[in-house]
Amino acid sequence: MTRISLVRHGQTDWNLAKRIQGSSDIPLNDTGREQAEATGRALAGGSYDAIYASPLSRASETASIIASHTGLDAPLPLPEVAERSYGDAEGLTGAEILARWPEGTPVPGRESRDQVVERALPALLELGERHQGESVIVVSHGGVIGSLVRHVTDHALPGPGEVIPNGSVHEFVYEDGTLTLDRFNLHPEDRDLFTASVL
């Protein structure tokens, strides 16, 4: 069995302005760095063997901050968990997107959730095989985490209106070729986070 903790990166200015980031490389803001510090301090209560991150700077910096608290080496890049591409919608707010592409209208260049799962899930399954009996951290993005959670729970989670906050942790378990969700939407203040990495 392998435990994989998926972490959403800290806040960026585009998160704050509710602009779609997608594959745009937007850096953490000061609040995002504070969130990464808080998540790192919480995860330091567990025991981890490696840390991986999306190559986008908001994720890789979050992972570096977490690594400094957990005693891990520098994060290893995992391109398959980079954020979902939103094509022409990147940089826009939800209202601006709806104005340009009314509900049901395809956004040019936007990756589907199924496409996200098709690239991210095999990478996590491979990590599960590589780290048998270990616990690893993977810093990724809301669109990727949400797509994976929907896939492995058959759309039971996230619930209606439920968001994946910056700095949140989502515990997955890999066993016998299958990835399942163990704990969803843990926050740095959640006591469960201190024991989530125990095999």
pLDDT per residue over 78-87, tens digit each? 999 999 999 9
Catalytic residues: 9, 83
Terminal-to-terminal C-alpha distance of the chain? 8
Q: Where are the domains of the chain?
A: 2-194
DSSP 107-173: PTTBPPHHHHHHHHHHHHHHHHHHTTT-EEEEEE-HHHHHHHHHHHTTT-SSPTT----TT-EEEEE
Please say whether the beta carbons of 81 and 5 come within 8 A: no
2-194 is classed CATH 3.40.50.1240: yes
User: What is this structure's pTM?
Assistant: 0.94
The tens digit of pLDDT for each residue in 91-116 reads: 999 999 999 999 889 999 999 999 99
The tens digit of pLDDT for each residue in 16-47 reads 999 999 999 999 999 999 999 999 999 999 99
